[in-house]
Structure 1
Amino acid sequence: MGRIFALLLLPLLLFGGSVKPFKWNNGESLLTFLERKKLPLSIYYNLDKDDQKLTEDIPYSANCQMVLDNKNLIRQILIPVNDELQLQIYRTPKKRYAMQVVPIVSEQYTETLYVPIQTLPYDDILKATGSKNLASEFVKMFKGKVNFRKGFQKGDPIILVYTQKYRLGKPFSMPEVHGAMVEINGKQVTVYRHTDGRFYDAKGGQYEKFLFKIPIRNPRITSKFTKSRYHPVLHRYRAHLGVDFGARPGTPILATGDGRVSFAGSSHGYGNTIKIRHSNGLTSLYAHQKSFKKGIHNGSKIKQGDIIGYVGSSGLSSGPHLHFGMYDGSTAINPLSVMKKTTEGFSGKERKAFIAIRNKMDRIFKKALQSKPIRKPYLNFHETYYVDSETFKPKPF
C-alpha cells in the first residue's frame, strides 16, 4: 500500500490512547454505523462497487476494535468481514477519514483433539476447547448418523482433527475440520473432508443429509467464491463471498433447498435480495434480482426448486447475473461446498485423492486412540494491539 493510505499511530504511542473492543450490531449497515459514530458517509461512497458490497457481509457480533487518542478522537476502526480480511477506517494526516480493505494478521495451527464422552459431545468439546464453533461443527457433522442422547457409554472417545486460526493469541473464526471420529460401544463412526470441501463417510458417500441444489438452470459461473485475493494491478485486496451465475434478465431463480424466507427486500449493494433460512441452520442469499415471484414475502415457506424470483442487475451490479451466497450464522461459506453432487461416489484420480485423505486421517485417529493426548489450553494474550496500516502487522500499544 502507498504511503497515502498510511495510518500514523506513532503519536498515540507517545501521547496516550486507548483501544475499545466492540461487537457489530446484528442487522446494522455500515452507513448506519457511520451516522451513529458521526463519521462522514463519504467513507462509504468513496469505495468502489466491490468494496461497497463487501460491507454488506459484515458478520453480526463480529469482534471489532476502535482506537481513540487521548482526546477521545477516533483514529482507527477495524471491522472483520471474514477470517482473512477486515475494513480499516482511519484518520489521515490531513485529518480526514478514509477506509480500505486490509488483511487480518493471524496464525493457524492444525490440532488433534481427543475427548472421552462424559455428558454430551457438545458439552465435552466445549469444556475441553472453549470453542462453541468446534462443538457445533462436530454435532452437525454427525447429525442423522449418530444419536448422542443414547447408545454411548461414558468414556467413549471423540477425535477431531482441525485447523484453527489465532489472532493475537486467541482463536477466532470457524475451525476447519479435516476429519472426525466417534467410537460408540467399540464401533467407530468416521467422517472425512475431501478436497471439494464436502464431508464423506469411509466409503465415499456424502455425509450431509440436507443437500442443496444449484439455484439456476444451465448454470454458468462467472465469479467464484473467495475470502481474499490480492489484485496484482490495482494493488488492493478483494473478496467475493458468494458465487455469481451469468444469465439472461428474467431467468427464473430457484430455491436451493427447503426453508422459510427470512428477508425479501432491497439493499444498496445487493439490490433486490431474498434470504432463505434452512432447517440445517444455513441461510442462502439470492441478490441483484429483477423482481420477486408474486407472493414471496418474509415468512414464506419455500420448497426446494420453487421459483422465488428472476435474474436482474439491481443494486451495485455491472450486468444481469445472480449473486448466490450461503451463510453459517452470519459467516459466509462457499455455496458449492454444500451442493449435491451430480454423481455419487468417486472414480479415477478423485478416488485416489479421497483414499489418501481417508488413510491419513485413520492413522491420526489410531495414534490418538493410543496416546490419548491431553490438550493444552488456548494461549491468552492480555496486551492491547493496533494494526499498522503499512505493514498490516499487530503492534503492542
Structure 2
Amino acid sequence: MGRFFALLLLPLLLFGGTVKHFKWKDGESFLTFLERKKLPLRVYYNLDKEDQKLTEDIPYSANCQMVVDNKNFIHQILIPVNDELQLQIYLTPKRRYETKVIPIVSEEYTETLYVPIQTIPYDDILKTTGSKNLASIFVKMFKGKVDFRKGLKKGDPIIMVYTQKYRLGKPFSMPEVHGAMVEINGKRVRVYRHSDGRFYDEKGGQYEKFLFKLPMRNPRITSRFTKSRYHPVLHRYRAHLGVDFGARPGTPILSTGEGRVSFAGYSTGYGKTIKIRHDNGLVSLYAHQKAFRKGIHSGMKVKQGEMIGYVGNTGLSSGPHLHFGMYRGSTAIDPLGVMKKKTEGFSGKERRTFIAIRDKMDRKFRKALQEKPIRKPYFDFHETYYVDSQTFKPKPF
C-alpha cells in the first residue's frame, strides 16, 4: 500500500492554523522557491548531498501544502517528490526552519472501470472519471494497434483495471493500469501489463515499439532506482530516482533512444547534465558529466546510441559515475523498466507468469461485461495525521 504521510502541527490545527494548497511551479528550483517564500537558504544547504539532489526531482505538477498561522506566518510546507516520499519544511520550537524527508501515507484501491463508448475513448474516460491520466494511458496502450477513428460503435465497451492511490478522497499520483479492453469492429482487443511493467497482447507480443538501450557499453550498476527506502543506520528515509553506472572518467555516454535535446547545461545537484525528450513522450537524463560531446546543444536531434558526453564527477557526486534518469511527464520512473527486450513472446516460467496475469485480467473483463458496473464517486476518506508519535483525525479542510 502507498503512503501519504501528512505531518501537520497540532497547535496550529487547534488554534486557527490554515492549510493552503499550491502546485510546484514548472522550472522553479528549490532555492528559488525558498527565496520567494523568504525562507533561509540554509534549509537547503543543511541537507546532505542525496537530499539536495532530491530537490531537483520535485515534479512541476506536485500538489503541495503550506500551514500558516493567522498572521500568515509559515509553520510548515509539504512538497511531494514522488508518490511515496515528500520534503517537509518545518518550524522548530527554537524558531528555526529545518527540512527532512518523510513518507507519504495514502489509501490504495484496485478498481474496474466500465465505460460504454459515446464519442471517442479519451473523452468518454475523461468524462466518466475526471482523470486525464487514465484517458491518456488508455490511448497510449492501444497506439499502433487500434485506430479509434474507425470501427467504433456507440455502446461498445471500454474496460480498464487499475490501481489508484487516494488522498482526502481524491486521486493521488499516476494510476497503475493492469489491463484494458476495447471492442472495435466487433472484435475485443485486450492489453495486459506484465510483471516487468510493460504492456503485451494476449499472445505475449510486446505493444511498446519505442524501446531504449543502455546509455553505456558494458555498464556496471552501482545503485538502482528506488522511490523510498528507510536507512537502518541513519534512521531516515532516502530515495534514488535513477540508476547509477560506475565508470572511469571520460567513458562515453550514449543516447538511450532517438529524440531531441531539451537541456544541456549545469545543475546544482546533477552537475553537467543533458536531458533528451523522446518521441514516446519520455525524457531521459544524464548527470554528473565531465564534459559534453562537442556540438551538443539544446534543440538538436540525436539518434539512439549516439555519443553525447563523457562520465564525470560534477555536481553533488561522491565519485565518477553516470546518474541515468527517466521521466514520464515530470515524474521519475525506473529507467531499466523501459530498456530493450525481445518481443517474440515468453517462454518457461516467465510464460506461466504471464498466462496467470492474462487469465486473471480476462476474468475481470468478463465480469465487467456481465455486470456493466456504474462507476461510484471517489471514496470519501479522512486522513490521519501524525504529530510527535501521537495520532488524531482533524476535520476535513
TM range (shorter): over 0.9
Q: Does 1:289 align with 2:289?
A: yes
TM-aligned CA deviation for residue 16 of structure 1: 1.2
Q: Which amino acid aligns with 1:396?
A: P
**Secondary structure of the structure 2 residue equivalent to 1:154:** coil
Quote the residue 1:4 is aligned against.
Answer: none
Name the stretch that deviates more: 54-63 or 372-381.
372-381
In structure 2, relative to structure 1, the CA distance for the partners of 1:220 and 1:392 (3 Å cut) is: farther
TM-aligned CA deviation for residue 186 of structure 1: 2.1
Name the stretch that deviates more: 338-347 or 156-165.
338-347
In structure 2, relative to structure 1, the CA distance for the partners of 1:343 and 1:335 (3 Å cut) is: same
| CA deviation map 1:45-101 (0-9, x unaligned) | 111111111100000021111100122210000001011111000000000000000
Quote the residue 1:65 is aligned against.
Answer: 65
TM-aligned CA deviation for residue 248 of structure 1: 1.5
TM-aligned CA deviation for residue 280 of structure 1: 1.1
Answer yes or no: is the 8 Å Cα contact 2:116–2:157 preserved in 1.
yes
In the alignment, the residues of structure 1 paired with residue 138 and residue 49 of structure 2 have an alpha-carbon distance, to the nearest angstrom, of: 37
Identity of aligned residues (%): 81
Quote the residue 1:102 is aligned against.
Answer: 102
**Secondary structure of the structure 1 residue equivalent to 2:365:** helix
Quote the residue 1:368 is aligned against.
Answer: 368
**Secondary structure of the structure 2 residue equivalent to 1:350:** helix
TM-aligned CA deviation for residue 394 of structure 1: 7.7
Q: Which amino acid aligns with 2:311?
A: V
**Secondary structure of the structure 2 residue equivalent to 1:22:** strand
Quote the residue 2:330 is aligned against.
Answer: 330
In the alignment, the residues of structure 1 paired with residue 290 and residue 232 of structure 2 have an alpha-carbon distance, to the nearest angstrom, of: 33
In structure 2, relative to structure 1, the CA distance for the partners of 1:336 and 1:64 (3 Å cut) is: same
**Secondary structure of the structure 2 residue equivalent to 1:83:** coil
Q: Which amino acid aligns with 1:293?
A: R
Q: Does 1:224 align with 2:224?
A: yes
Quote the residue 2:194 is aligned against.
Answer: 194
Q: Does 1:339 align with 2:323?
A: no
TM-aligned CA deviation for residue 283 of structure 1: 0.7
Q: Which amino acid aligns with 1:223?
A: S
In the alignment, the residues of structure 1 paired with residue 278 and residue 391 of structure 2 have an alpha-carbon distance, to the nearest angstrom, of: 39
Answer yes or no: is the 8 Å Cα contact 1:212–1:257 preserved in 2.
yes
Quote the residue 1:122 is aligned against.
Answer: 122
TM-aligned CA deviation for residue 390 of structure 1: 3.7
Answer yes or no: is the 8 Å Cα contact 1:104–1:392 preserved in 2.
no
- Note the 1:1-150 alignment, pairs <5 A: 9-150=9-150
**Secondary structure of the structure 1 residue equivalent to 2:358:** helix
Answer yes or no: is the 8 Å Cα contact 2:219–2:246 preserved in 1.
yes
Answer yes or no: is the 8 Å Cα contact 1:290–1:313 preserved in 2.
yes
In structure 2, relative to structure 1, the CA distance for the partners of 1:191 and 1:392 (3 Å cut) is: farther
**Secondary structure of the structure 1 residue equivalent to 2:128:** helix
Name the stretch that deviates more: 226-235 or 95-104.
226-235
Quote the residue 2:165 is aligned against.
Answer: 165
Quote the residue 1:351 is aligned against.
Answer: 351
Quote the residue 1:256 is aligned against.
Answer: 256
TM-aligned CA deviation for residue 395 of structure 1: 4.1
Q: Which amino acid aligns with 2:299?
A: G
TM-aligned CA deviation for residue 8 of structure 1: 7.9
Quote the residue 2:3 is aligned against.
Answer: none
TM-aligned CA deviation for residue 105 of structure 1: 1.2
Residue-pair matches, total:
389
In structure 2, relative to structure 1, the CA distance for the partners of 1:392 and 1:358 (3 Å cut) is: farther
Answer yes or no: is the 8 Å Cα contact 2:8–2:67 preserved in 1.
no
Quote the residue 1:388 is aligned against.
Answer: 386
**Secondary structure of the structure 1 residue equivalent to 2:210:** coil
Quote the residue 1:182 is aligned against.
Answer: 182
TM-aligned CA deviation for residue 396 of structure 1: 2.0
In the alignment, the residues of structure 1 paired with residue 220 and residue 75 of structure 2 have an alpha-carbon distance, to the nearest angstrom, of: 44
Listed as ranges, the gaps of 5+ residues in structure 1 are 1-6
In the alignment, the residues of structure 2 paired with residue 8 and residue 260 of structure 1 have an alpha-carbon distance, to the nearest angstrom, of: 42
In the alignment, the residues of structure 2 paired with residue 178 and residue 266 of structure 1 have an alpha-carbon distance, to the nearest angstrom, of: 38
In structure 2, relative to structure 1, the CA distance for the partners of 1:238 and 1:94 (3 Å cut) is: same
Q: Which amino acid aligns with 2:371?
A: S
| RMSD (Å), alpha carbons | 1.7
| CA deviation map 1:143-198 (0-9, x unaligned) | 11111122211111111000000012110100001111111122111111111111
Quote the residue 2:305 is aligned against.
Answer: 305
| CA deviation map 1:266-301 (0-9, x unaligned) | 111111110111111111111111111011111011
Answer yes or no: is the 8 Å Cα contact 1:110–1:163 preserved in 2.
yes
Q: Which amino acid aligns with 2:14?
A: L
What is the TM-score normalised by the length of structure 1?
A: 0.94
In the alignment, the residues of structure 1 paired with residue 44 and residue 375 of structure 2 have an alpha-carbon distance, to the nearest angstrom, of: 44
Answer yes or no: is the 8 Å Cα contact 2:8–2:385 preserved in 1.
no
Answer yes or no: is the 8 Å Cα contact 2:225–2:334 preserved in 1.
yes
Quote the residue 1:239 is aligned against.
Answer: 239
TM-aligned CA deviation for residue 106 of structure 1: 0.3
Q: Which amino acid aligns with 2:375?
A: R
In the alignment, the residues of structure 2 paired with residue 238 and residue 231 of structure 1 have an alpha-carbon distance, to the nearest angstrom, of: 7
In structure 2, relative to structure 1, the CA distance for the partners of 1:247 and 1:184 (3 Å cut) is: same
TM-aligned CA deviation for residue 319 of structure 1: 1.1
Q: Which amino acid aligns with 1:373?
A: P
**Secondary structure of the structure 2 residue equivalent to 1:164:** strand
In the alignment, the residues of structure 1 paired with residue 358 and residue 308 of structure 2 have an alpha-carbon distance, to the nearest angstrom, of: 39
TM-aligned CA deviation for residue 14 of structure 1: 3.5
In the alignment, the residues of structure 1 paired with residue 391 and residue 53 of structure 2 have an alpha-carbon distance, to the nearest angstrom, of: 26
In the alignment, the residues of structure 2 paired with residue 185 and residue 362 of structure 1 have an alpha-carbon distance, to the nearest angstrom, of: 20
Listed as ranges, the gaps of 5+ residues in structure 2 are 1-6
Answer yes or no: is the 8 Å Cα contact 1:105–1:392 preserved in 2.
no
In the alignment, the residues of structure 2 paired with residue 392 and residue 253 of structure 1 have an alpha-carbon distance, to the nearest angstrom, of: 49
